[in-house]
Amino acid sequence: MTKNKIQQNTIMKDSEVDWIGDVPVDWDIVRIKNIFYLSTEKINGHAEDYQIYSLTMQGLKKRNIETNEGQIAASYDKYARLRRDDIVLNPMDLKSGFVARQEDDGIISPAYSLMRPRKKQNTEYFERYLQFHYFYNIFFPFGKGVSYDYRWTLGNETLMNFPILVSPKQTQQKIVKYLDEKTENISGLIKKKKKMIELLKEKRSSIITHAVTKGLNPNVKMKDSGVDYIGKIPNNWEFRKTSQVFIKIGSGTTPSSGNTEYYDGNKYWIQSGDLNAGVLNNTKKKITQKAILDYSTLRFYSKDSIVIAMYGASVGNLSLTKIRATTNQACCVLPKTEKVNSRFAFYYYLISKDTLISLGQGGSQPNINKELIKSFKILLPPKQTQQKIVEFLDKKTSEIDSIISKIEKQIKLLDEYRASLIYHAVTGKIATLV
């Protein structure tokens, strides 16, 4: 709805806030601290007496209490008291953070900001007002931290001095009702599209698995593979240890992060977080020639090498490189070899990720290592058959990836539309609501 059409129905005034623009004349512009205060209330008693919550992109969610031999973890006793109608924000991560209103009593990590109304308010309205700040990244330029991608934080004083619009109570209720109806429909569409993406990814994985373990000829003679999760394989296929196929399997290291002479260079340096389950054309960080000279363990690998993450949150992730690169110590590299089609091997290790991880050692997040990878067996068809499988899979996966990309774009447009609806509603730019 255009500004002119709004002004035909409502007298507007300048809010004097860039990202808000004109607002209805009977709306007040105050600071957040005039409506809310930051609660520092602690729990009275022990954590086991309360329901624990965490803030997610889907709102405040109940968490299961982790125990140690039946005892509540002591750290939970330091959690903050959460009360109905508190508004919770994540000021520690403005890029992926969110905001939500609490509907029940409970406790939550003190790392969050708990905004408690000074008097009875329609907190559903203010929740939606603050949501548009996240959708439009309004908070982001006011943050501080190490980098935009890491711990970009909004200080409490900055937060509490942000302008907030207070519309008449009747208008607040109309806005809440309108947004509930509109955003629920949009969220439903987004949920369906995300489900479609999940199904397409499952189909993609199934096609790859069948091709690299059964081949493309349904009439070929089969034999027992001797591996339960693979079953029968074509007669002329064979298993080989990874170390029998790939020569000079290696890794890398991390140059001292405190030495600025080692970074912001032009040499590709792969970290496990770069691995994307596809082709790798670039790295987040690049190192200098000096780093290469000072660290003998920084070995370069040719393009068409397979890189696998050995530990951390990315364990088991992998990529096929299209760049000449070195790596950190968390990556295992299978250099290009004439013994196997690199792309066929990539597809095989891609569908073997869960199996590799299951063989690893560790707690809740198992680690894998070079020795485990070296001993892991890869299924090898004749080279001509490998090439045919690669051509088939490249075509099929490309078709599925194209459909997924289109759906992701649709989701992005729906997210933008939802954000736009919230912005126009809570800033008084929809005539029928004001």
Stretch (H or E) spanning 158: helix 156-160
Task: List the one residue out of 51, 73, 47 whose CA is nearest residue 64.
Answer: 51
H helix or E strand, kind and range, residue 261: none
Domain match, 140 and 242 both: no
Q: Are strands 87-89 and 99-101 parallel, antiparallel or unpaired?
A: antiparallel
190 and 245 belong to one structural domain: no
Angle, CA 228 vertex, CA 222 and CA 230 arms, to 5°: 50
- 222 inside domain: no
Q: What pLDDT does 141 receive?
A: 83
Q: Which CATH number do you get for residue 185?
A: 1.10.287
Note whether 160 and 38 are same-domain residues: yes
Cβ atoms of residues 36 and 30 within 8 Å: no
Predicted confidence band at 395 (pLDDT cuts at 50, 70, 90)? Answer: very high
Is residue 257 assigned to a domain?
yes
Whether residue 159 is predicted with pLDDT greater than 80 in this model: the reply is yes
Which of 380, 396, 411 is at the close of a domain? 380
CA–CA separation, 250 and 329 (whole Å): 9
Please check whether residue 56 is in contact with residue 98, taking contact to mean a CB–CB distance below 8 angstroms: yes
Does residue 364 share a domain with residue 244?
Answer: yes
Please check whether residue 105 lies inside any domain of the structure.
yes
Domain boundary among 165, 194, 223: 165
Q: When comparing pLDDT for 154 and 31, which is higher?
A: 31
What pLDDT, on a 0 to 100 scale, did the predictor assign at position 143?
A: 81
Residue 220 covered by a domain: no
351 in the same domain as 247:
yes
CB atoms closer than 10 angstroms to residue 74: 10
CA quadruple 195, 200, 206, 208: dihedral positive or negative?
A: negative
Q: Given pLDDT bands bounded at 50, 70 and 90, which one contains residue 7?
A: very low
Strand 306-309 to 318-321 pairing: antiparallel
Residues 415, 346, single domain; the answer is no
pLDDT tens for residues 274-318? 999 999 999 999 999 999 999 999 999 999 999 999 998 899 999
Q: What is the pLDDT of residues 186-220, one digit of tens each?
A: 999 999 999 999 999 999 999 999 999 999 999 99
Q: What is the DSSP letter of 44?
A: S
**Residue 356 per-residue DSSP state:** H
* Residues, the chain: 434
Burial of 313 (0-12, 13-18, 19+ CB in 10 A): exposed
Last residue in a domain, options 336, 365, 380: 380
Question: Are 62 and 188 members of one domain?
Answer: no
**224, part of any domain:** no
Cα 304 from chain centroid (whole Å): 27
Averaged pLDDT for residues 28-42? 93
Residues 22 and 46 in one domain: no
The confidence band for 364, taking pLDDT boundaries of 50, 70 and 90, is low
Give this prediction's pTM. Answer: 0.82
Q: Are residues 309 and 375 in the same domain?
A: yes
Contact in structure between 267 and 287 (CB atoms under 8 Å): yes
| Cα(113)–Cα(231) distance, integer angstroms | 53
Cα Dmax for the chain: 81
Distance (Å, rounded) from C-alpha 85 to C-alpha 105?
9
Q: Is residue 226 part of a domain?
A: no
Residue type at 229?
A: Y
The lowest-confidence range among 79-93, 225-239, 292-306 is 79-93
Residue 19 structural domain: 1-27+167-215+384-434
The verdict on residue 121 lying in a domain is: yes
For residue 139, the Cα-to-chain-centroid distance in whole angstroms is 20
User: So what's the pLDDT on residue 73?
Assistant: 59
- Model confidence at 8, in pLDDT bands (50, 70, 90)? very low
Same domain, 160 and 178: no
Amino acid at 78: K
In a domain, 221, yes or no: no
Q: How many CA atoms lie within 13 A of 155 on its CB side?
A: 6
287 and 342 both lie in a single domain: yes
Q: Give the pLDDT band (50/70/90) at residue 6.
A: very low
What's the structural domain count of the chain? 3
* Together in a domain, 304 and 187: no
Count H helices and E strands in the chain, helices first: 11, 25
pLDDT band at 56 (very low <50, low <70, confident <90, very high): confident
Question: In this structure, what CATH number is given to the domain that contains residue 291?
Answer: 3.90.220.20
Q: Does residue 393 surpass a pLDDT of 60?
A: yes
- Condensed to tens digits (0 to 9), the pLDDT of residues 98-143 reads 889 998 889 998 888 899 999 999 999 999 999 888 888 888 888 8
CA gap 46, 44 in Å, rounded: 7
Helix axes 123-135, 169-214, angle to 10 degrees: 50
Mean pLDDT along residues 180-188: 94
